[in-house]
Amino acid sequence: MTGLLFESPSLESAIQALRNDLLDKDSPKISTMRNYRFAILQYTPRDEFKLRARIRWLTDDLKSQGWNVLAISLQHLFLTRIKKEEQRVLDSMIATEHRLYPKSPERALNHLKDKIALYVEGSEGVAKDVIAVIDEFANSYLGDNDRTLIFLGRAGALYPFFRSSALLKHIDGKTRNLPVVLLYPGDRKDLNALSFMGELPADRDYRPRIYS
């Protein structure tokens, strides 16, 4: 292991704990429930680039030991959805935000939240795209589910339009029973409470094991 991020001991220890559980001699131990194979790796938003470097290291490490690893960018899925929209719709959204902002920045933000929620939230939002990518990946790598891992990252790019607890609910039971780790930028408030980006109210609606 390199000393790349030793100035961030909590991040380093969280990733090491995740690695140890993934490589358990019997089978991955990231969840106590066999049919709920989700975990969350919580990190401070300011450590975003350090987190990416360590995840690249962990991915290379697992692949060298015969694992199949998929990294899904939530930002990429969201932008792909936006790019498919008609330009007139996007222009209208932007124009309204520009018109509202001088009078009320809060109202302008709420307008964007309402519009962008259509692309992000619910079973037909980003969750649907995550499921499709996982299906394609699983079909390409038919093999040992216990040596396959999926990272869900770049969640911070969807702030403040995104609730990760809702995403996990929508993909639960639709990930081909593959281990999924959500990379979560935010603060941990207590055992099961997380504050997205350290800004939103703490959400206690989490079932997965949290590494932090």
DSSP H stretches of helix in the chain: 9-22, 48-64, 74-83, 87-100, 105-120, 126-140, 164-171
Q: Which pLDDT score, from 0 to 100, does residue 149 have?
A: 94
CATH of the domain at 65: 3.40.50
Element (H, E) at 8: none
User: Does a structural domain hold residue 99?
Assistant: no
Residue 102: other Cβ atoms inside 10 A: 8
User: Does a structural domain hold residue 94?
Assistant: no
**What is the pairing mode between strands 180-188 and 194-196?**
antiparallel
**What is the pairing mode between strands 38-43 and 180-188?**
parallel
User: Does a structural domain hold residue 112?
Assistant: no
Q: Which pLDDT score, from 0 to 100, does residue 154 have?
A: 94
Domains of the chain: total:
1
Distance between CA 212 and CA 207 in Å, rounded?
15
Residues facing 27 on adjacent strands: none
Q: Which pLDDT score, from 0 to 100, does residue 3 have?
A: 38
What are phi and psi for residue 109, nearest 5 degrees?
Answer: -65, -40
Q: Which pLDDT score, from 0 to 100, does residue 123 have?
A: 86
Q: Which pLDDT score, from 0 to 100, does residue 195 have?
A: 81
Distance between CA 119 and CA 81 in Å, rounded?
7
Smallest Cα–Cα separation from 129: which of 92, 85, 181, 75? 75
User: Does a structural domain hold residue 59?
Assistant: yes
Distance between CA 14 and CA 119 in Å, rounded?
32
User: Does a structural domain hold residue 115?
Assistant: no
Q: Which pLDDT score, from 0 to 100, does residue 32 have?
A: 64
pTM: 0.85
User: Does a structural domain hold residue 65?
Assistant: yes
Q: Which pLDDT score, from 0 to 100, does residue 48 have?
A: 94
User: Does a structural domain hold residue 110?
Assistant: no
DSSP code per residue over 135-178: HHHHHHS-S-GGGEEEEEE-GGGGTTS--HHHHHHHHTT-STT-
User: Does a structural domain hold residue 97?
Assistant: no
Mean pLDDT, 10 residues at a time, the chain of 212 residues: 46 93 84 80 93 96 94 94 85 85 84 79 90 93 83 89 80 91 88 77 73 90
Domain hosting 27: range is 9-77+123-211
